[in-house]
Amino acid sequence: MAARVRTFWKGNLRLALVSIPVRLMTATEREKEINLHQVHRRSKKRIRYEKVAPGVGPVEQEDIVRGYEVEPGEYVLLEDEELEHLKLSTRHTIELVQFVDHCEIDPLYFERPYYVLPDGEDAEEGYRVIRDALREEKKVGIGQLTMRGKENLVALKASGKGMMLDTLRYAEEIKDADKVFSDIGASRLRQDLISMAKDLIRQRASPFDPAGYKNHYAEALRELVRSKLKGGKAVEVDEDELEQAKGKVIDFTEALKRSVQRAGAASAREREAKATPRKRPARAAARRGR
C-alpha cells in the first residue's frame, strides 16, 4: 500500500494538447529538523511575536493588507481578493514549454524539490508516458507554476517510479558571479601545487552517497537534551493560550487579544477609543493607503 502523502498543490500538467491531473507533495522532511524555541529565562514563558503598527499597537489579521512600495514610503495597497483574482494560467496548470538537458541547468538555480504524483487512476497512464519519455530522452521539462502568491520557474524530470519538480530561481535573483569574484587574482599558479591538489582529489574520489553523511550538530544537540533530561533539568514552560490544546484549535486573533490583555497592554480598539480627535484623521488616512 502506498504511503499517504499530504498534497501541497493540485492542478494539471500540460504538454501541448495533453493535460494530466497531478498533485505535488514536498520532497523534504521538515519534521526531521530540530527547532529551538525562545523562552524568557526568569518567567519561563514562550517568547511570542506580534504584528503591531507604530502608534496603534497589536493589529488584527483582517486589518492587514499587502503593500507594494513604489517610492520610498509610498505604497500601493492590495487586498487579498485582488491578488486571488489575478488571471494567471499557471495558478492551476504546469505547462511544459521547453525541454533541456539536466546538465544545462546550473545547480545555483535549483531552489526546492517536490514529488509529482498522478491525481487519480485515470491520470496514471498519461503520467507514466511523460515520465518514460523524459527518462528515455534524458531531458528536463521547463515551465511555470504559481504557488503561494509567486509564479515560479520549474523543472520537471523523471525520478525513480515517478517524477520530481524543482522550483528554480529566475536569472534576476542570481548575483553576478563575475562581480562577486572580481577581486580574486589571476596570476599564474605553481603547477606542482595544483598537481598535489589533484592527487588529493583523486584519492578521495568516489560515488556520492548522501546516506553516508550525518548531521553532527543535530546529533550533538539531541545528546545534550538527553543528558539534561537525565539530570532532571526539564522545566515547565508557560505556552500561554496561543498553542493548540489536545487537538482543539484556538482562534489566533482571540488568543492574541487575551495574551495582550494578560500582559497589561491595551487592544487596538481601546487605543482608538482613547486617541485624541487630532490623531484620528491621520490613522484613517493610513488605512486608505495615502
CATH number for the domain that contains residue 72: 2.40.290.10
DSSP string, 93-149: EEE--EEEEGGGS-GGGEEEEEEEEESSHHHHHHHHHHHHHHHHHTEEEEEEEEETT
Per residue in 170-189, pLDDT tens? Answer: 999 999 999 999 999 999 99
Per residue in 262-289, pLDDT tens? Answer: 544 444 555 555 555 554 444 444 444 4
Question: Smallest Cα–Cα separation from 97: which of 67, 140, 68, 42?
Answer: 140
Residue 103 confidence (pLDDT): 92
Q: Where are the alpha helices (DSSP H) in the chain?
A: 80-84, 121-137, 177-180, 191-203, 216-230, 252-262, 268-274, 280-287
Identify whether 184 is part of a domain.
no
Residue 206 confidence (pLDDT): 92
Its domain, for residue 9, covers: 1-173
Residue 46 confidence (pLDDT): 87
Rg of the chain, C-alpha, whole Å:
27
**Segments of the chain with pLDDT less than 50:** 1-3, 242-257, 259-260, 263-267, 279-290
β-bridge mates for residue 18, sequence order? 15
Those residues with Cβ within 8 angstroms of residue 200's Cβ, 6 or more apart along the chain or in another chain: none
Cell 487537538 belongs to which residue? 247
Q: Contact, 13 vs 130, CB < 8 A?
A: yes
Residue 164 confidence (pLDDT): 95
Taking all residues of the chain, what is their mean pLDDT, rounded to a whole number?
Answer: 79
Identify whether 50 is part of a domain.
yes
Identify whether 193 is part of a domain.
no
Per residue in 32-64, pLDDT tens? Answer: 667 788 888 888 888 888 888 888 888 888 888
Identify whether 36 is part of a domain.
yes
Those residues with Cβ within 8 angstroms of residue 109's Cβ, 6 or more apart along the chain or in another chain: 168, 169, 174
Identify whether 71 is part of a domain.
yes
- Render the burial of 150-168: b for 16+ CB within 10 Å, e for the rest: eebbbbbbbbeeebbbbbb
User: CA–CA separation, 19 vs 127, rounded Å?
Assistant: 10
Those residues with Cβ within 8 angstroms of residue 106's Cβ, 6 or more apart along the chain or in another chain: none
Identify whether 279 is part of a domain.
no
Identify whether 274 is part of a domain.
no
Those residues with Cβ within 8 angstroms of residue 260's Cβ, 6 or more apart along the chain or in another chain: 50, 57, 58, 266, 267
Identify whether 257 is part of a domain.
no
Number of domains in the chain: 1
Question: Is residue 285 packed enough to be buried (19+ CB in 10 Å), middle (13-18) or exposed (0-12)?
Answer: exposed
